[in-house]
Structure 1
Amino acid sequence: MSRCLTRAHVRARCGSRGAGNNNIKPGVVLSHNTVQPGWLRITHWINALAVVLMVMSGWQIYDASPIFPVIHFSPSITLGGWLGGALQWHFAVMWLLVANFIVYLAANLASGRFQRKLLPLKPTQLVADLVAALRGRLKHDDLAHYNAIQKLAYLVVIADIVLIVLSGLAVWKSVQFPLLRTLMGGYDNARIVHFVCMSVLVAFFVVHVMMVALVPRSLLLMIRGR
């Protein structure tokens, strides 16, 4: 058996040399490598917490001055209790979200993980994976690699977080950042951009949780790394 072991893999090469190999199919590789590094798991869970707190407090702030009169959020899913309390939560967690996102993005770029995992994104592969997903045939056998739909989703949510921070600054410090306010189309439009970006982020969060429920191994991967 010692010939069959390497530092990172256990390969089914021994055939009938031992009863312990009877359940291992030829060609199957059992990897013990860490797929999700520690820094990624930490920033992932911090980001998840920060997003939930930001969204819930943001909904309370929104209810104090709705952009769309038909949209209202129940107090049971908001945070802060009132406008002042919600603002305190929002501004406090904002720093956590921004700092954590900078660490996440910098570590991804510095380690080369961003390029390896998310690029290239080929339109043909995206269409093929989308068709497979709609037919319920999109496979998730290898969680170490992202399919084209996952790549697009993560790229979109990264851009969305950048835009939600910039639009938030335009709303919060409209006088101090006049150029940013102008680029957003004015204060009122900045609020709309902020709301739309929040909606995209919430939609991603919901779909993300649904996918985890369908593929429970992905949750273990984000907890223990492999």
Structure 2
Amino acid sequence: MKPQPSPLRKRRVHSWPVRICHWINLLAMIGMVMSGWGIYNADPIFAFTFPQNTTLGGWLGGNIAWHLAVMWLLAANALFYILWSFFSGHFRRDFLPFSPGSVWRDTVRALTFKLPHKLGQYNAVQKLMYSGVLVLGVLLLLSGLSIWKPVQFSGLVWLFGGFDIARYVHFFAMSGVMLFVIIHVLMVLLVPKTFVAMLTGGKKISTEESADE
């Protein structure tokens, strides 16, 4: 008897909380970075400034207002994502485990274009990057509080080694997040189906394809 082909079914690669938080994060980070560049321009710590047309707010007061407004959106989104990921098992299931050996192996595979991509499964490099950007997010929060309210959060300022050091930490943590975003976008360009999955949650695949992918 000739076997029947496997029926198509909808497999959710990314659940709705992940997708919603992802796109809110995108908009919030654009607002945070552009308003942050405007704040930086008012008192730069390096010998360069950002073009005025890449900033948000128009002037220092506007930059700060936008930065604080978007900060609350980003904080609420991050809190929801962290709580959901913890209680749903998303962190444990998708971001762990990984080791230096597995990161090195997958890095070599990626550089030699031999790293297979499976929708819904993170390789060791991705796990390291996503875990790292969460750490950078914590650094941005703590250093940002130190810069925003140095008197009220004097203990945090002391932990960072002073107000000026907190500004450097904030700048480099932001730069690290931007590097993550650039790498993330490049990976999406290399594997366009990941963009579709983040929009729709998944695609119709057969049972046999699910085993391979």
**TM-score for both structures, normalised by structure 2:** 0.91
Q: Aligned to 2:32, which of 27, 34, 54?
A: 54
Q: Which residue of 2 aligns with 1:35?
A: 13
Deviation at 1:17, TM superposition (A): 4.8
Amino acid across the alignment from 2:68: F
Match runs of 1:1-226 below 5 Å: 16-17=2-3, 21=5, 32-69=10-47, 71-140=48-117, 142-226=118-202
Deviation at 1:76, TM superposition (A): 1.9
My pick for the range that moved more, 206-215 or 194-203, is: 206-215
DSSP-derived class of the 2:12 partner: coil
DSSP-derived class of the 2:199 partner: helix
Q: Which residue of 2 aligns with 1:7?
A: none
Q: 1:30 to 1:123 in 2, by over 3 A?
A: farther
DSSP-derived class of the 2:11 partner: coil
Deviation at 1:75, TM superposition (A): 1.2
DSSP-derived class of the 1:138 partner: coil
Amino acid across the alignment from 1:150: Q
Amino acid across the alignment from 1:105: I
Deviation at 1:173, TM superposition (A): 0.5
Deviation at 1:36, TM superposition (A): 0.9
DSSP-derived class of the 1:33 partner: strand
Deviation at 1:33, TM superposition (A): 2.1
User: Counting helix residues as a fraction of each chain, which structure ranks higher?
Assistant: 2
Deviation at 1:32, TM superposition (A): 2.1
**TM-score for both structures, normalised by structure 1:** 0.86
- CA radius of gyration, larger in: 1
Structure 1 residues 131-173: Cα deviation after superposition (integer angstroms, max 9, x where no partner) = 1111122111x11110000000000001101110110000000
- Distance in 1 of aligned mates of 2:62 and 2:161: 29
Amino acid across the alignment from 2:39: I
User: How many residues are treated as equivalent by the alignment?
Assistant: 202
Deviation at 1:30, TM superposition (A): 5.9
Deviation at 1:207, TM superposition (A): 1.1
Deviation at 1:210, TM superposition (A): 1.2
Long gaps (5+) in structure 2: 203-213
Long gaps (5+) in structure 1: 1-13
- Distance in 2 of aligned mates of 1:162 and 1:30: 42
Q: Which residue of 2 aligns with 1:5?
A: none
- Distance in 2 of aligned mates of 1:176 and 1:202: 29
Structure 1 residues 67-105: Cα deviation after superposition (integer angstroms, max 9, x where no partner) = 112x21111211111111111100100000111101111
